[in-house]
Chain A
Amino acid sequence: MGAEISVNISEKNYIFSIKNRYIQDFKIGTEPSMKKDGAVCMAEKAEMLYKKKPQDFAIGTLDSESPKTISTLTNLYSTIKNSYLKVFYMRADIIPLFVGIIIFLASLISLYAGFSVAIIEIILGTVAGSLGLRAEEWMIYIASFGGIILTFLAGTEIDIPLMKEKFRESFLIGFFSFLAPFAGVGLYTYFVSHWSLQASLIAGTALSTTSLAVVYSVLVETGLSKTNVGKLLMASTFITDMATALALSILFVKPTLYTVVFVIVSVVVIIAATKFSNLIFKNPTLKNKVIEPEIKYLFLLLIIFIYFANLGEGHAVLPAFVLGLFMSKYFTETSETRKVRNRLRTVAYAFVTPIFFIVGGLQISLPLILSAFTLFMILFGLKIVTKFIGVYFLARKYIPQGSMYTTLLMSTGLTFGTIASVFGLHSGFINQVQYSLLIGVVIASAIIPTFIAQKWFMPAEEEDYLEVENGNRKEKQTIQ
């Protein structure tokens, strides 16, 4: 790595501007870089001398027909040397090794400590980021793909009849889970922190989200995804994310022709996949083969969403969830094709989703968060409090056996919060410090509420209850 700094100095010797350019791919060791500098200086000197006395440079030819100056030769040498070094360093890229260690370590810690692997991966990602690890391009793509797979898998877990039956409950919980933080955070940042209107709206949107990926991961790991609490929770999360996506679209996104193309392609893919996936899943030539054509087919559908979403400046999370939802009939516990989902889950959890969570951790810039730590704490507190106000009372009414668990998991944020913050930064609505603060709060909200929920508020399942006679009425007691 290296940096190039250009300092502009006036004739009166004061400095009026500085440009600092960070050269990420400048992978060169100390010793070769000295040689390179020497080579560059020598080339510059040689070129200067050549301009004065070209006849002195008739030496140093590559062939007798075309005389070459020392300058050309040294530059050539330098280029070759650098290319060699670059190839050498690329061949020995250590980042995948670190990532592999983190993924394995996170699963061990998760199993021994009894926490969701997602939390551990985010924490380890944060630690690695503080030590200097940066997300490479391949990691960012796999991470976004991981988020889409998790969302798709979450969709497949939804019990459509239950969702229809409990639509009112899930809609109310999901909608107020969005509205309360959106209003609370937006108003606070606008009136108290004096952020601009757009920045406040971005803050409200980013902190109103609930991470379907985190919720799904935690529910699957704890076995709650099959329970009514889990299914209602996932449906509510989807409503929250839907509301967030709509808010972001209505407030900021200017739809283009590609956005329309993205919507049309998504609808066509969802309908076609719902109707014709049988041709893949039930085809004796294709099903249960070592080369996994069914998994590749599902990957292809998700990659189509990602491509057209990027084209239309949208996001593939929503169609991926809806696709999962509509394809859930293929993956019910009684169906033969449920094994496909389990194999997809194996592929995802072994490599793809860990990178999603690690990259989430890497995005935290602790120095920038510490520079505005009070505001960070206020925003984090505000998100939790407003989520509590929006969710807890409804959850206590509709999910009494897991109201606090539901509230805490609905307070988690990751994918959509990050999307909203990145969008705000790229559009110039928020600055770097505001961006780091929002990302920090989003990721802290993925860790802390999940940790508390898992540790102290795990809902008791039906089989954990023992009916006991108490006078004339039956009561349920939890088995300790």
Chain B
Amino acid sequence: MIEKAKFQNISSVFIISFCVIVIFCLSSVNGQDLPVSFLAKLKAEDNPNWRVVWDKETGLAKRLFGSRSKVFQGKPEDAAREFLSLYHGLFGLSPDLKNLQITESVKTPFGERVTLRQYYN
């Protein structure tokens, strides 16, 4: 009985420690690219009035609105790419915007709407 209890204690401490370590490793890795830290960066660097609607499934920004960014150089596509590259973490994109392809660029009454599509497995 004592041996069994000892074994249970050792195994329980080991398993709980393992789970805690795994969770903390994962969370610290995840924490580096937190969408909210990118929002803080955006507000600090660009404009504090930006507002975000979060996607409850993914935890990423679903909509970004309420403000104006700085003026970008080049074509609208380049502006979109540059902005997304700066604040990629907000939308769950990789920094190099790999696999992000422009699928549509449409004139609107306010300017232009560029639609990009990202594929990942």
Contact = CB atoms under 8 A, between A and B. Distances in A.
A113 interface: yes
Interface string B44-80: 0000000000111111111111011111111010011
Interface range, B side: 35 or more
Contacts of B73: 13
B3 to A, nearest CB: 14
A131 B29 CA distance: 11
A359 to B, nearest CB: 13
A371 interface: yes
Nearest to B67: A16
A113 B60 contact: no
Contacts of B33: 367
Interface string B66-109: 01111111101001100110000001110000001101000010
A183 interface: no
A9 interface: yes
A2 B119 contact: yes
Contacts of A5: 84, 91, 93, 100, 115-118
Given A3-B92, A15-B72, A16-B67, A9 B114 contact: yes
B56 A425 contact: yes
Contacts of A33: 119
A11 B75 CA distance: 10
Contact of B27 (A10, A21, A113, A370): A370
A23 to B, nearest CB: 9
B6 to A, nearest CB: 11
Contacts of B101: 37
Interface string A26-43: 101110010001001000
A435 B27 CA distance: 18
A402 B31 CA distance: 40
A344 B15 CA distance: 30
B36 A15 contact: no
A367 B31 CA distance: 5
A6 B108 CA distance: 12
Contacts of A141: none
B65 A17 contact: yes
A82 interface: no
A432 B56 contact: yes
Given A2-B120, A435-B56, A11 B113 contact: no
Given A19-B62, A371-B36, A13 B113 contact: no
Given A113-B11, A113-B16, A371-B36, A14 B27 contact: no
A4 B103 contact: yes
Contact of B69 (A16, A29, A134): A16
Nearest to A32: B119
B60 A131 contact: no
B19 A127 contact: yes
A433 interface: yes
Contacts of A21: 62
Contacts of A11: 110-112
A16 B65 contact: yes
A436 B116 contact: no
Interface string B19-46: 1001100110011011111000000000
Contact of B22 (A16, A28, A127, A455): A127
A112 B16 CA distance: 12
Contacts of A115: 12
A2 B64 contact: no
A17 B63 contact: yes
B59 A12 contact: no
Nearest to B4: A114
A4 B116 contact: yes
A9 B26 contact: no
Interface in A82-137: 109, 112-115, 123-124, 126-127, 130-131, 134
Contacts of B62: 19-22
A13 B79 contact: yes
Contact of A8 (B8, B100, B103, B113): B113
A56 to B, nearest CB: 25
B119 A28 contact: yes
B64 A18 contact: yes
Contacts of A371: 34, 36-37
Contacts of B55: 20, 22, 432
A61 interface: no
Interface in A112-168: 112-115, 123-124, 126-127, 130-131, 134
A20 B61 contact: yes
B27 A22 contact: no
A7 interface: yes
Contact of B115 (A4, A13, A127, A134): A4
A470 interface: no
12 contacts: A2-B119, A5-B115, A7-B79, A8-B113, A11-B112, A16-B67, A18-B91, A109-B15, A127-B23, A127-B26, A130-B23, A371-B37
List the 3 closest pairs (A to B, CB-CB), nearest first.
A432-B54, A113-B12, A7-B80
Interface of A: 1-22, 24, 26, 28-30, 33, 37, 40, 109, 112-115, 123-124, 126-127, 130-131, 134, 365-371, 425, 431-433, 435-436, 451, 455
Given A366-B23, A369-B27, A431-B54, 9 more contacts: A4-B115, A6-B116, A7-B113, A9-B79, A9-B80, A20-B92, A22-B55, A24-B57, A28-B119
